[in-house]
């Protein structure tokens, strides 16, 4: 079998997505039993056993069912406690975030026990500092809390919101907090220092740039949208370029290439040091972005690529992506319904399977037909072609997920992505440099002016095309679920069919 990790990773993802959408514990047990029988049958048949594809696929489905069963059992155990009052003991995982719409703070914590019984999962604490007389200092990451509170089901009856919280391992919520006691830890967890670093970077940027620019730059580097207004984020979402503010593999790849410009000379004489520096930077950036699913996916893929180069082995993109899926879903099976994870994986698949093959095959042909013989015009045309190929392929592959999770698809996305093409790489690099310079207290006026103007251009484009939702196609849930599964594979099958027909024509 040529790509075992790709088969296992994508089968695991599709199986868990299917179970999360249509399944429950009973369905997972039945699907697991069927997968086990099919695994045994395909293992006996000589032809399928020699190719291994079907046995690996069915065994992965069996593993997915077991993973879903365990995770769903943990979720159900906590969800069944909703609408009760209880004594809760938990440990803060993330600092409280203020929600302007509801006028309340929300804090994510790990459940230790409820009424003396141990549970697995996270709890969402809800409180108002004014009416509930809460001190935010009590909710520092790592603090152990003990209190009485009323438990409620997070997300209510909205399955989409419930799935979102499950992807964050949040299974229950609590409000009406009283009799709070706090135990400070002997040492803070690593996530505490990540929060402090992101907060320090955000404050430093706000000291040197306008509010909107500083919030935009903070989102580009840390992925945190706490410092950007809801209006600006909506304009990016409506115009189809919200992915720029969601730290992903694109951001990591750009910064790795930028770092490589300074350390490339180490590769010949000090190969081990060269790869160590890149690996440390990748892990640090994953830490800075709070190990979001999209960054972890990209980080794992690049680390596998670097490992292959270190031992003089060529890595396979699809295998690397499949292995990254396995790593992320093994930690939390419900991550399969995370928008960041799904969009990141499908976008990468779109680039690998569609955009790059199209670009490599047709860029010379199209430029030749247009009569572009000059070097500069050829490179400009190639850049535009690559951007359009990536934009349209990603749009098709993520069409169903966007429609399902966000209730609509931005039709203007290819145009806005093309307008962002000249500045996307530049602004990511400038945002990273700005974060470093602001953190050490050095910010040249000319550099700050340049960053401000480029950021203003990005905000202006988003405002022009995303000021309203007139370019957003709204879809119903039934159509969305169908598109979610059919769109990516339909595009891929069309491409494969085209190659097959071309081969037949050549033979004739």
CA distances from 16 to 335, 352, 379 (A): 9, 23, 42
373: DSSP letter: -
Q: What are the domain boundaries of the chain?
A: 4-79, 85-188, 195-503
The pLDDT value recorded for residue 115 is 92
The pLDDT value recorded for residue 119 is 93
Residue with tokens 């994870």: 341
The pLDDT value recorded for residue 481 is 47
Level-2 CATH architecture, domain 85-188: Beta Barrel (2.40)
Residue with tokens 């907090």: 177
The pLDDT value recorded for residue 490 is 58
Neighbours of 507 (CB within 10 A): 6
Which value, to the nearest 10 degrees, does the dihedral of the CA atoms of residues 238, 241, 247, 248 take?
120
240: left (phi over 0), alpha (psi -120 to 50) or beta: left
Sequence-ordered alpha helix ranges (H) in 52-97: 53-79
CA atoms within 13 A on the CB side of 402: 27
Paired sense of beta strands 170-183 and 122-127, if any: parallel
pLDDT along the chain (508 residues), means of 10: 83 90 83 90 78 86 93 92 93 87 89 93 91 86 93 86 88 92 88 88 90 88 81 81 74 84 79 86 88 80 75 73 88 86 81 80 74 71 73 72 66 75 82 89 88 90 78 57 53 60 59
Which of 363, 462, 471 lies closest to 419 in space, CA to CA?
462
**CB contact at 8 A, 268 and 202:** no
Angle, helices 413-439 vs 211-222, to 10°: value is 90
Q: pTM of the entire structure? A: 0.79
The pLDDT value recorded for residue 478 is 43
Map residue 262 onto helix, strand or coil: helix
Which of 157, 149, 155, 158 lies closest to 127 in space, CA to CA?
149
Map residue 116 onto helix, strand or coil: coil
The pLDDT value recorded for residue 494 is 61
| 9/7 Cα distance (integer angstroms) | 6
> 313: which residues sit within 8 A by CB, 6+ positions away?
none
| 428/217 Cα distance (integer angstroms) | 8
């Amino acid at each position: 079998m040529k790509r075992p990790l790709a088969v296992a990773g994508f089968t695991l993802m599709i199986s868990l997505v299917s179970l999360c959408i249509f399944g429950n514990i009973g369905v997972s047990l039945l699907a697991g039993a069927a997968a086990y029988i099919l695994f045994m049958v395909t293992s006996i048949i000589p032809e399928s056993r020699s190719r291994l594809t079907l046995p690996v696929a069915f065994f992965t489905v069996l593993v997915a069912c077991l993973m879903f069963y365990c995770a769903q059992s943990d979720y159900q155990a906590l969800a069944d406690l909703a609408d009760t009052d209880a004594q809760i003991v938990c440990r803060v995982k993330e600092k409280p975030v203020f929600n302007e719409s509801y006028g309340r703070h929300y804090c994510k914590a790990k459940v230790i026990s409820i009424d003396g019984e141990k549970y697995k999962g996270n709890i969402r604490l809800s409180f108002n500092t004014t009416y509930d007389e809460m001190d935010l200092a009590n909710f520092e990451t790592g603090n152990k809390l003990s209190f009485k509170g009323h438990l409620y089901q997070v997300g209510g009856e909205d399955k989409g919101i419930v799935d979102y919280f499950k992807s964050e391992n949040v299974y229950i919520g609590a409000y009406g907090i009283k009799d709070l006691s706090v135990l400070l830890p002997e040492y803070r967890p690593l996530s505490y220092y990540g929060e402090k670093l992101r907060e320090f970077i955000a404050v430093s940027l706000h000291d040197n740039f306008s509010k909107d620019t500083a919030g935009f730059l903070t989102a580009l580097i840390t992925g945190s949208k706490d410092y950007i207004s809801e209006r600006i984020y909506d304009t990016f979402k409506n115009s189809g370029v919200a992915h720029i503010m969601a730290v992903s593999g694109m951001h990591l790849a750009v910064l790795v290439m930028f770092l490589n410009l300074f350390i490339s000379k180490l590769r010949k004489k000090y190969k081990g040091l060269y790869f160590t520096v890149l690996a440390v930077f990748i892990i640090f950036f994953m830490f800075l972005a709070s190990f979001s699913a999209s960054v972890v996916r990209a980080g794992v893929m690049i680390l596998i690529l670097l490992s292959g180069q270190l031992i003089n082995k060529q890595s396979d993109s699809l295998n690397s992506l499949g292995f990254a899926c396995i790593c992320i879903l093994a930690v939390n099976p419900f991550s399969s319904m995370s928008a960041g994870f799904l969009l990141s994986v499908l976008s990468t698949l779109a680039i690998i399977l569609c955009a790059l093959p199209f670009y490599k095959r047709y860029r010379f042909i199209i430029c030749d037909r247009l009569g572009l013989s000059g070097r500069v015009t050829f490179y400009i045309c190639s850049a535009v072609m690559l951007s359009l190929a990536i934009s349209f392929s990603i749009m098709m592959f993520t069409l169903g997920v966007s429609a399902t999770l966000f209730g609509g698809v931005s039709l203007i996305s290819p145009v806005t992505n093309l307008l962002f093409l000249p500045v996307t790489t530049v602004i990511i690099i400038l945002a990273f440099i700005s974060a470093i310079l602001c953190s050490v207290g050095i910010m040249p006026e000319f550099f700050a002016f340049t960053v401000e103007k480029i950021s203003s251009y990005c905000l202006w484009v988003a405002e022009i095309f995303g000021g309203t939702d007139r370019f957003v196609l709204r879809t119903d849930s039934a159509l969305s679920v169908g598109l979610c599964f059919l769109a990516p594979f339909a595009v891929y099958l069309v491409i494969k069919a085209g190659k097959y027909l071309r081969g037949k024509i050549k033979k004739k």
